[in-house]
Chain A
Amino acid sequence: MTRTLRLAVRQALHEQRSFWRSAEYALFTFALPLALLLLIGSTTATGYLPDTHIKAQMLFVPSIIAFGVIVAAYVNLGSKLATLRHDGVLKRIRTTPLSATAYLAGVLGSTAATTLAITACTGMIGWAAFGVVPRPAGLAELAGGLLLGVVCFGSLGLALSSVARSAESAAPIANASYLPLAIMSGIFDPTFSVPHWLSVAIGLFPVRALAQILQQGYTPAAHVVSVNDLLVLAAWAAVGIGFAVWRFRWH
């Protein structure tokens, strides 16, 4: 067990090194959320939420944190694994005694580290540029949301890498699956509103659920703490893990 853990940590460090060395991944993963944060945060997401004294950025900054989680854990991990599979690297790893558990734990650990880094950057910029900080009592929501978010979207990323037939199709599939949801969930516009039926439908997906949990970490006024959001994330995590276990392929 300790050996598995040691191997997982080592694998995570290795993945981190290769992540930072790979300019396209690192740039895309970091630049996209941070650029959107600054652009939208200083233009459309200014002002106050309707009928409240809450700055729109109090919702927007945690929304971008959620966006960062999705990019790093879902899009990035899914397309990376699809590429490794396509290149035959996974097949090669399977010839060694390294267990699937240790390997995947390492890969997910590295993803968690990347997510944490994006979250920290987003939070810092949110504070420096917009004066928005999490509320001290909301750190539990933030930490819990991040953890659940990484597990949920990470496992969905694993599932995605197994669904994609080729390395090339993984990123487009990832983008096509989360981007419409992200827009409809108001990730890029805190005042975005949709018809009730659509809102109910979107509530079934993990994007808005994650954003709302993280928003709780910034301001309690936006929503009531929703058990539904937790359940939705947990359910999708279970779906992702189940699918990944069922369908994960080494080649």
Chain B
Amino acid sequence: MTETVARSAEAAVDAAGQAVSRPEPRPLAIEVRGLMMNYGARQVLRGVDFEVRVGEVFCLLGPNGAGKTTTVEILEGFRQRTGGSVRVLGLDPAAQPSRLRERIGIVLQECGFPRQARVAELVDMWRSYYRAPRPLEDLLAVVELTTDRCVQVRKLSGGQRRRLDLALALAGDPDLVFLDEPTTGFDPESRRRCWAAIENLRALGKTIVLTTHYLDEAERLADRVAILQAGRVEISGPVRQVARQAGVPTRISFTAPEPLRSGRVEPPPDLGITLRGEAAICYTANAAVALRALLAWAAANDLGDLDDLAAETPTLEDAYLRLVTGGDQ
């Protein structure tokens, strides 16, 4: 059902001609259909559907307890699902976890390092676990730890440790990387560097599955997001479309011209313009249509250019809050 919603929404976007011309769709890295998971009598996942294409940065969002971690653990082959079908890089993670692990990299939350190890030595150790590892220098460069190669791991800062996490996850030159809340608890500078490292990964053509609590992080990094709530995908799609799909309207505002404020000119019909002090505001599902109507109205009434005219497209955060809190904004 969720899938149908997502599909029809995508189709609608296509029909409106707003989607960029899509070349051949890239093959699927992950395909999840009707995924169910019960812990005892408790249903944690109730039919999750989504897919991730090769080379995409996909972000799984949702409040605590929505089933993000469970979903990711099933994809990684750590947990046996109760029902539904899952393909990761063409493999069933439940049936072939070790083959899968040759090809994926996993950055878990809060995972320690052996206490005595040094950076390069540890990365090298991890490389030995894989059949076709990535060169050491390369790994250090991707996560900007080349100059810290001889530092003892316990002397690294939080941000450096997180980037070392990433280097270890990349040791096997994986096609697919799972990142679980990569920047939780970071200062802005560390976040920026971690994001840079993730952007590097994208440039290498890796498929990335990200879970995060930070919507700005998702907005900045992800090509597509899925919002999980109470064991279902409430909505999924390209970041820019999710807000629209969630039904969050675009907010249009301008400084109300004097004739409008004094009531000498009637506001355009059907736009639902409200006045708040000097500002005139309206909400619309179709910004282009509304703006055209607004400008035509201004011209017809000789109001000139509308001062401070602005259309605020809904953000991912608007969509998220609307879905998760049922928020009325």
> B98 in the interface, Cβ–Cβ < 8 Å?
yes
Bound complex: CA A57 to CA B272 (Å): 100
Bound complex: CA A88 to CA B172 (Å): 20
Using A18-B114, A86-B112, A91-B108 as known contacts, list a sample of 18 further A-B pairs with CB atoms less than 8 Å apart, ordered by residue number in A.
A18-B115, A22-B116, A83-B115, A84-B114, A87-B113, A88-B108, A88-B111, A92-B108, A95-B76, A95-B101, A95-B106, A96-B171, A97-B101, A97-B102, A97-B129, A97-B130, A98-B129, A99-B98
What are the 3 tightest A-B residue pairs by CB atom distance, in nearest-first order? A87-B112, A95-B106, A88-B111
Query: Which of chain A's residues has its CB closest to B171's CB?
Result: A96
Q: Which residues of A contact B125 (CB under 8 A)?
A: 14
Bound complex: CA A92 to CA B123 (Å): 13
> B128 in the interface, Cβ–Cβ < 8 Å?
yes
> B117 in the interface, Cβ–Cβ < 8 Å?
yes
Within 8 A of A (CB), among B46-91: 76, 78
Q: Which residues of B contact A91 (CB under 8 A)?
A: 108, 111
Quick check: B112 and A96 within 8 Å, CB to CB?
no
> B169 in the interface, Cβ–Cβ < 8 Å?
yes
Interface size of A as a range: 20 to 34
Q: Which residues of B contact A94 (CB under 8 A)?
A: 78
Cross-interface CB contact of A97 among B76, B112, B172, cutoff 8 Å: B172
Q: Which residues of A contact B128 (CB under 8 A)?
A: 7, 10
> A179 in the interface, Cβ–Cβ < 8 Å?
no
Bound complex: CA A22 to CA B108 (Å): 26
- Prevailing SS type, chain A contact patch: helix
Q: Which residues of B contact A93 (CB under 8 A)?
A: 129
Binary contact readout B37-52 vs A (1 if CB under 8 angstroms, 0 otherwise):
0000000000000000
Bound complex: CA A198 to CA B129 (Å): 49
Minimum CB–CB distance from A235 to chain B (whole Å) comes to 33
Query: Which of chain A's residues has its CB closest to B112's CB?
Result: A87
Bound complex: CA A45 to CA B299 (Å): 110
Ordered by A's residue number, 19 sampled pairs between the chains whose C-beta atoms are within 8 Å are: A7-B128, A7-B129, A87-B112, A88-B108, A88-B110, A89-B111, A89-B113, A89-B114, A91-B111, A92-B111, A92-B168, A95-B105, A96-B101, A96-B126, A97-B98, A97-B101, A97-B130, A97-B172, A99-B98
Within 8 A of B (CB), among A14-28: 14, 18, 21-22
Bound complex: CA A3 to CA B172 (Å): 16
- Prevailing SS type, chain B contact patch: loop
Binary contact readout A168-181 vs B (1 if CB under 8 angstroms, 0 otherwise):
00000000000000
Bound complex: CA A91 to CA B115 (Å): 15
Q: Which residues from chain B sit less than 8 Å from chain A, CB to CB?
A: 76, 78, 98, 101-102, 105-106, 108, 110-117, 125-126, 128-131, 168-169, 171-172
Minimum CB–CB distance from A189 to chain B (whole Å) comes to 37
Quick check: A18 and B116 within 8 Å, CB to CB?
yes
Bound complex: CA A94 to CA B130 (Å): 13
Minimum CB–CB distance from B75 to chain A (whole Å) comes to 12
Quick check: A92 and B112 within 8 Å, CB to CB?
yes
Interface centre among A22, A87, A91, A92 (most CB of B within 10 A): A92
Minimum CB–CB distance from A44 to chain B (whole Å) comes to 37
Minimum CB–CB distance from B115 to chain A (whole Å) comes to 7
Quick check: A18 and B113 within 8 Å, CB to CB?
no
Q: Which residues of B contact A18 (CB under 8 A)?
A: 114-117
Q: Which residues of A contact B171 (CB under 8 A)?
A: 96
Q: Which residues of B contact A88 (CB under 8 A)?
A: 108, 110-112
Q: Which residues of A contact B102 (CB under 8 A)?
A: 97
Q: Which residues of B contact A84 (CB under 8 A)?
A: 114
